[in-house]
Amino acid sequence: MTDVIAFDHVAFRYPEAESRHGSVSPWAIADVTLTIPAGAMVLVVGPSGAGKSTLLRCINGLVPHFTGGTFVGRLEVMGLDPIAAGPETMCRHVGFVFQDPEAQFVMDRVEDEIAFALENAAMPPPEMHARVEEVLARLDLVSLRHRPLVTLSGGEKQRVAIAAALALRPRILVLDEPTSQLDPQAAEELLGFLARLGETSGLTLVLAEHRLERVLDFADLLVYVSGGAAPVIFGDPASVLSQVDLAPPVARVGKALGWSPLPVTLAQGARFAVDAMAGRKVDDALLRRDRGDEGADQQAAARPPILEAAALQVAYGDVPVLRGVTLSLYAGEVTVLMGRNGAGKSTLLKSLIGLVRPQQGHVWLVGRDTAGVAVAVICREVAYLPQDPNALLFADTVREELNITLRNHSLEPSQVPVAPDALLAELGLADKREAYPRDLSVGERQRVALAAITVTHPKVILLDEPTRGLDYAAKAGLIELIRRWRAAGLALLLVTHDVELAADVADRVLLMVEGRIVADGSPWDVMGHSDLLAPQIARLFPDAGWLTAEEAAAALTNAGDGTT
């Protein structure tokens, strides 16, 4: 088998690092040596900021040609040296798909977007039209060809981006976290699509991805980038995962129970799961008590809800978005709202805080109707984290972001129960107080935004897609934070596509379909048997009642009371 990509002791550092820190600049990637054979599907994983994107951008010469900086080592792609050839030449051999499909669109219609690379390559028009037809058919986009890009769904947009990258018939397709903006079903579809594409066309696929559980099924090889000076770990998925502390739930259970060889996909784990469950009887009642679901309904009857909405109806123009939504949030309870893109989840959150005023229905905050109350007033009690926390941040320092919120509410730092500095320390940002917020990592930026909205000490926290773009470490930090808020008696409502997050933190799960809440119950009741929403552990041990790796491992090691 021929290798199409060969890294030989490659290292790279960005130019800013050189000027700002003098000679002790950190390497974005250090000492990468790996080879990728033709036709392989390669998964690049690792924490955010570890250099995954940098590694991918070397393959088509964007690094160092677009970024500047210092490149060391040898790199060969399709027999060419991308460092010498540059992206102008490499674009014929390497297609590149970026994280955010919208940020990479140049034109505004599907066909024109695909033709853009061909126009640049000065392809004669008859051939160009044939090529566009071919790519449209291959990516199943024929029916969308005339559509404006803004009217497409996230999955469709990413397919157009792939089509545009494949127009020049490259032999290698590089994708930088292509599913991070998609809901689970769209992500699943896209990845399945990529796997088929790889099989039928012999394309070499190199894919960076945060959510391992989605992609391991399709991967032939795994590259683990840990950042800093540590060398990359490279090999088949099972051997790499056994060396790193980063694994999908099935592998975590496998590690805890000593399964060997370590299963990394559901198919591989199923055999062990059947053995482990043989002869076991699951005590359902015990399990429910462990998860703290017991008597949730009685609790609800006894205590008044903090935030309550009844029969909310919202329409944008003629399009109804919420068709009569009723929900209650209680102190010390984490409610998770799930559903496909466009189901109305974000609109529901916005209508709870008055950013969207419902045409019908009411919202009560601690028993008070919020109709006609200014958003600014509601948000002192109800913190809301929008999907893109960047929209919040504009101050020069992290501490200033908190002060701005307080000034907006005409509060002195001494008037809030937790002083801003203490709050930052609580959120693990103590040493970032003077940092420029937009220089921070995705996870840190989200924490700054959270600090900026919770500094008023609200009673309710609403989070819209909080795990988007977070790596495993940042996600674990967020889960801990959510649990802490829950223990402090706050009411939390999370909108998320992340079934593993829901399994980890939810007390109650709501499922929304086309503007209505169609399911409302304990996590197991709503997610356990769902084709779409079941987390990996529920799929691995159907009917056992476990949702997370920790639960399953604890129960299977026969620890007496099975708590984690």
Partner 1 sequence: MHPLAWLVWLGASAVATLAMRNPLYLLLLFAVIYVVTDVIRGAESGRGGATTASTDAVTEPMMLPVSPIRFALFAMGVGALINGLISHFGETELLRLPEVIPLLGGPITAEAVVYGAINGMVLATLFATFAVLNVAVPTRDLIGYLPRAFYPVAVVSAIAITFVPNTLYQLRQVREAQAIRGHRMRGLRDWLPLFLPVLIGGLERALQLAEAMTARGFAAKGAAAPAAHTADIARFASIGGLAAVLVGGVLRLVPGAGRWSPVLVVGGTLLVAWAIWRSGRQVNITRYRRARWTMGDGVMVVGALLALVPLFLWPATRDYSPYPRLLWPSFDTRVGLALLGFLAPALVLHLARPPAQGERQ
Is there binding between residue 121 and partner 1 (CB under 8 A)? yes
Is there binding between residue 353 and partner 1 (CB under 8 A)? yes
Is there binding between residue 151 and partner 1 (CB under 8 A)? yes
Is there binding between residue 392 and partner 1 (CB under 8 A)? yes
- The label of the residue with tokens 């320092």 reads 397
Question: Among residues 368, 352, 309, 303, which one has the least CA distance to residue 332?
Answer: 303
CB of 446 to partner 1, least distance (A): 13
Is there binding between residue 6 and partner 1 (CB under 8 A)? no
- The footprint of partner 1 on residues 411-470 (CB under 8 A) is 438, 452-453, 456
Positions of E strands within 341-452: 360-365, 368-369, 382-385
* CA dist., res. 11 & res. 425, Å (int): 35
Is there binding between residue 331 and partner 1 (CB under 8 A)? no
Is there binding between residue 104 and partner 1 (CB under 8 A)? yes
Question: Among residues 294, 297, 276, which one has the least CA distance to residue 286?
Answer: 294
Residue 35, helix vs strand vs coil: strand
Is there binding between residue 496 and partner 1 (CB under 8 A)? no
Which of 408, 557, 563, 564 is in the footprint of partner 1 by CB under 8 A?
A: 408
The footprint of partner 1 on this chain (CB under 8 A) covers a number of residues equal to 76
* CA dist., res. 395 & res. 164, Å (int): 38
CB of 149 to partner 1, least distance (A): 8
Q: How far is CA 102 from CA 157, 159, 485, 526, in A?
A: 7, 12, 34, 33
Per CB under 8 A, the segment of 70-78, 178-186, 339-347, 477-485 that binds partner 1 is 339-347
Residue 256, helix vs strand vs coil: helix
What is the signed CA dihedral for 46, 51, 52, 57, rounded to 10 degrees? Answer: 180
Task: Copy the structure tokens of residue 230.
Answer: 């540590």
Per CB under 8 A, the segment of 59-67, 259-267, 331-339, 499-507 that binds partner 1 is 59-67
Q: Which is nearer to partner 1, 90 or 511 (CB)?
A: 90
Is there binding between residue 88 and partner 1 (CB under 8 A)? yes
Residue 45, helix vs strand vs coil: strand
* CA dist., res. 96 & res. 55, Å (int): 13
Q: Which is nearer to partner 1, 356 or 533 (CB)?
A: 356
* CA dist., res. 209 & res. 467, Å (int): 14
* 220 and 40 Cβ atoms separated by less than 8 Å: yes
Q: How far is CA 322 from CA 306, 383, 542, in A?
A: 21, 21, 33
Is there binding between residue 71 and partner 1 (CB under 8 A)? no
In single-letter form, the type of residue at position 236 comes to D
The dihedral through the CA atoms of 317, 320, 321, 325 has a sign that is: positive
Per CB under 8 A, the segment of 388-396, 502-510, 522-530, 537-545 that binds partner 1 is 388-396
CB of 273 to partner 1, least distance (A): 39
- The label of the residue with tokens 């919208």 reads 102
Is there binding between residue 222 and partner 1 (CB under 8 A)? no
Q: How far is CA 261 from CA 268, 269, 381, 554, in A?
A: 9, 10, 51, 21
* CA dist., res. 301 & res. 295, Å (int): 10
Residue 29 burial (CB count, 10 A): 26
Q: Residue 410: phi, psi to the nearest 5?
A: 55, 45
Q: Which is nearer to partner 1, 302 or 374 (CB)?
A: 374
Is there binding between residue 393 and partner 1 (CB under 8 A)? yes
Which of 32, 42, 115, 141 is in the footprint of partner 1 by CB under 8 A?
A: 115
Q: Which is nearer to partner 1, 117 or 253 (CB)?
A: 117
- The label of the residue with tokens 């393959």 reads 59
Is there binding between residue 116 and partner 1 (CB under 8 A)? yes
Residue 404 burial (CB count, 10 A): 15
Which of 268, 328, 347, 536 is in the footprint of partner 1 by CB under 8 A?
A: 347
- The footprint of partner 1 on residues 242-271 (CB under 8 A) is none
CB of 24 to partner 1, least distance (A): 26
Is there binding between residue 390 and partner 1 (CB under 8 A)? yes
Which of 81, 220, 388, 400 is in the footprint of partner 1 by CB under 8 A?
A: 388
Is there binding between residue 3 and partner 1 (CB under 8 A)? no
CB of 516 to partner 1, least distance (A): 15
CB of 94 to partner 1, least distance (A): 8
Is there binding between residue 207 and partner 1 (CB under 8 A)? no
Which of 73, 87, 231, 324 is in the footprint of partner 1 by CB under 8 A?
A: 87
CB of 332 to partner 1, least distance (A): 23
Which of 409, 457, 459, 483 is in the footprint of partner 1 by CB under 8 A?
A: 409
CB of 86 to partner 1, least distance (A): 9
Per CB under 8 A, the segment of 212-220, 346-354, 486-494, 498-506 that binds partner 1 is 346-354
Q: Residue 323: phi, psi to the nearest 5?
A: -115, 60
* 154 and 181 Cβ atoms separated by less than 8 Å: yes
Per CB under 8 A, the segment of 150-158, 228-236, 282-290, 552-560 that binds partner 1 is 150-158
